Amino acid sequence: MITFTLVPHRSRVLVAKLLAGTALALVALQICLVLALLATALAGGSGDDTWSLSAALIGQAAISITVPMLTGIGFGAVLLASAPAIVLYFVLPTAFGILGSFHAFEGVARWLDQSRTMGKLVEETFDGTQWARLGASVALWTLLPLVVGVWRVRRSDVR
């Protein structure tokens, strides 16, 4: 609430949080890529046993790191408190994943279980169906909390 007192334009604060979270995720990805490259070089990796990543897989890795960060920011904005947001960030998708393991919910889970839709982002280049499923799960677990969170933050009183 101190931030909203100092910067009364709540939209600016929310945009700054989203940009900072995205930047943090992308910097972490770059650090990991550099460390992996150094470790491969130090281990003497050459020839067929070394790893390689296409530009598409690096882009998909950036998505796999950025989307959960934005989801967490969305959950925090919805609940206006960090601790319950962290708990729900882990509990709700896990419970949904367990529910999706039942035969009756298999079809829905293929589209809305984010652990399924994002699971192979760093392993293979996605096709159209995989992107559509990822989009559906991101809409449910990331965009919906962000929209509701932005609405709540803009409407809540500073106490």
**Over the stretch 93-128, which tens digit does the pLDDT of each residue have?**
889 889 988 988 888 988 999 889 998 898 899 999
| Claim: this prediction has a pTM higher than 0.95 | no
Per-residue HEC secondary structure of the chain comes to CHHHHHCCCHHHHHHHHHHHHHHHHHHHHHHHHHHHHHHHHHCCCCHHHCCCCCHHHHHHHHHHHHHHHHHHHHHHHHHCCHHHHHHHHHHHHHHHHHHHCCHHHHHHHHHHCHHHHCCCCCCCCCCHHHHHHHHHHHHHHHHHHHHHHHHHHHHCCCC
pLDDT of 97: 86
**Over the stretch 22-52, which tens digit does the pLDDT of each residue have?**
999 999 999 999 998 888 888 776 656 566 7
**Over the stretch 76-91, which tens digit does the pLDDT of each residue have?**
999 988 899 999 999 9
